[in-house]
Amino acid sequence: MSATINWSFGLRNNTGNYLTAESFGFTVNATSKVMKKKQIFFLEQQGDQVFIKSHLNRYLTFKEDGKFLADATAGGKDEALTIEAQADGKWALKTFRGYYAGGTGEKLDAYTKVLAADRLWTIQLAMHPQVAIKNVNRKRYVHLSKGQLTVDEDIPWGSDSVITLIFFEEGKYGLQADNGTFLSETSELKAQADESCKFTLEFFQQMVAFKSKSNKYLTAHGASGVLKAIKDGPPGNDELFVLEDSLPQFKLKLNGQFASIKRGIEVTFNQPICEDTEIFQFEIDQATKKYYIKTSQSKLWSTLKDGSVQAVALPAAKGASELFAATWLPPVEGAGPKLSLQASNGNYVTVKPNGQVVANTPSLNEFNQFTYELINRPKLVLRGEFGFVSTLPSGVLQANSAAAEVYNLQVSGGQCKISASNGKFWKVGVSGITATGDDADLFSFLFIELSKFVILAPNGKFVQGQQNGSFTATGTTFDATTLWEF
């Protein structure tokens, strides 16, 4: 099961400036026109009350005299807020004393009970925008099926289950399918987003609802759960959704054959084409940094006593036998990157001549190094330590953008071609990486954290972002500047 997302966001006031938490004195202001690290906040919910924490791990606090700071080390009554969502999706932040928090510039306070324009905040999500969306009532996921977004997938599988939330400047959101089209309120998918594709995002604890320009809510309609904005408020369970992390899914290949469970519970490399039964989800165990490998039937790979590998374990029964250590091997002599898997018995997962998979080899060889390809990111959004990756008008890439840009990803043999909306490919230059190429440089992804990878450039260095926005192929280690959330 994917993990429910923790809310991170920016708060933009009626003058278009973002709430900012300063390091010096833990003060707050609303003077920034851009959303970067100091403008990102995190939501903690306890019943009807919420607490908002800054990037400095301090809570917003509202004193009896109306002072508005971000210096509290714990959440108490002075830090407790009630969110009053407005009809247009903006938030009013109400303290336990009944005052609204807001203001402009350096003059912020929580000392008025009048809900004026300067007390309303537009919410811009700061977390990674590519998600799996689960309907609360149907307990199924949104995916692209037969030209529509429908709520009828038991588990989010393949690229068709990845939805990208696109932020529009007026504070509304679009739902973009993996083929690049946008959902409209009538259920039609449009190549370009118009007003019918823009939805107000409303928050209900850990759930959200999407309200259209006609003040109707998206609902799962009919047997297949077609997404359509036809319901009046307040939203019920068919109009409420949970956003979850979209975890990486791969196809694995050796000697022209894909790893598969098509023939049953045994994992074998014997299929020439890739379907759902040849796609596997890698779920990292944070304590061990090893992986659980899930199938499209929601079973986990397991190493049996005889060393054979079968997809028999239920997720609720996770144990040591279901954990596999992954080694992401960089490209060698022009070939794509490879992956090796080490089972709980200490041996490498190896393919026998008949395609059967068994963990019985103590060292690496040609039969246990697999070509891997990320299957559920035809559209790529990258977020690093200092913001999202985006393209400047000159074609230069920057790594500190507040807004996410969606790139096109083509993967073949484990090597990746990445292009921007201008149709140009990523190229490594002396001063940085640009989207200016008519032909593509080939990049490789090494997956080393939960939903994070490092990007290996053709010069053998890791792609690196810096606070000033530079985006270069200069990294030599795995650290915060070379890790990219995808």
The CB density around residue 225, as the number of other CB atoms within 10 Å, is 23
Q: How far is CA 422 from CA 174, 373, 417, in A?
A: 21, 25, 14
In a domain, 1, yes or no: no
Residue 328's domain comprises 249-374
Residues 199 and 170 sit within 8 Å (Cβ to Cβ): no
CA 81-84-86 angle, to 5 degrees, is: 155
Q: What is the pLDDT, as a whole number, of residue 171? A: 83
- CA–centroid distance for 53 within its chain: 21
In a domain, 41, yes or no: yes
Q: What is the pLDDT, as a whole number, of residue 334? A: 67
In a domain, 434, yes or no: yes
Same domain, 361 and 267: yes
Same domain, 366 and 257: yes
In a domain, 238, yes or no: yes
Same domain, 75 and 90: yes
Same domain, 102 and 32: yes
In a domain, 213, yes or no: yes
- CA–centroid distance for 441 within its chain: 25
Could you read off the pLDDT of 241-297 as tens digits, one per residue?
999 988 999 999 999 999 999 988 999 999 999 999 999 999 989 889 999 999 999
Same domain, 293 and 324: yes
Domain's final residue, options 245, 270, 291: 245
Q: What is the pLDDT, as a whole number, of residue 133? A: 97
Single out the residue of 242, 42, 28 nearest to residue 123, CA to CA. 42
Could you read off the pLDDT of 319-354 as tens digits, one per residue?
999 999 999 988 887 678 999 999 999 999 999 999
Same domain, 465 and 398: yes
In a domain, 317, yes or no: yes
Residues 407 and 423 sit within 8 Å (Cβ to Cβ): no
Q: What is the pLDDT, as a whole number, of residue 1? A: 40
Q: What is the average per-residue pLDDT within 447-476?
A: 92
Same domain, 52 and 66: yes
Same domain, 370 and 256: yes
Q: In 33-169, where do the E strands start and end?
A: 41-46, 49-53, 59-62, 68-72, 81-85, 91-95, 102-104, 107-109, 120-125, 130-135, 141-145, 148-153, 163-167
Q: What is the pLDDT, as a whole number, of residue 57? A: 94
Same domain, 232 and 165: yes
Eight-class DSSP state of 330: P
In a domain, 3, yes or no: no
Domain's final residue, options 318, 341, 374: 374
In a domain, 459, yes or no: yes
Could you read off the pLDDT of 192-210 as tens digits, one per residue?
999 999 999 888 877 899 9
Same domain, 233 and 257: no
Q: Phi first, then psi: what are they for 405, rounded to 5°?
A: -110, 140
How many domains is the chain partitioned into structurally? 4
Q: What is the pLDDT, as a whole number, of residue 3? A: 52
The C-alpha atoms of residue 355 and residue 270 are separated, in whole angstroms, by 6
85 band by pLDDT with thresholds 50, 70 and 90: confident
Could you read off the pLDDT of 218-236 as tens digits, one per residue?
999 999 999 999 999 889 9
450 vs 431, which has greater pLDDT? 431
Domain's final residue, options 230, 245, 260: 245
Same domain, 174 and 140: yes
Q: What is the pTM of this model?
A: 0.88
Same domain, 238 and 205: yes
Q: What is the pLDDT, as a whole number, of residue 333? A: 74
Single out the residue of 419, 417, 402 nearest to residue 469, CA to CA. 402
User: Could you tell me if residue 25 is left (phi over 0), alpha (psi between -120 and 50 degrees) or otherwise beta?
Assistant: left
Could you read off the pLDDT of 99-150 as tens digits, one per residue?
999 999 999 999 999 999 999 999 898 888 999 999 999 999 999 999 999 9
Percent of the chain residues topping a pLDDT of 90: 79
412 band by pLDDT with thresholds 50, 70 and 90: confident
| CATH code for the domain in which residue 257 is found | 2.80.10.50
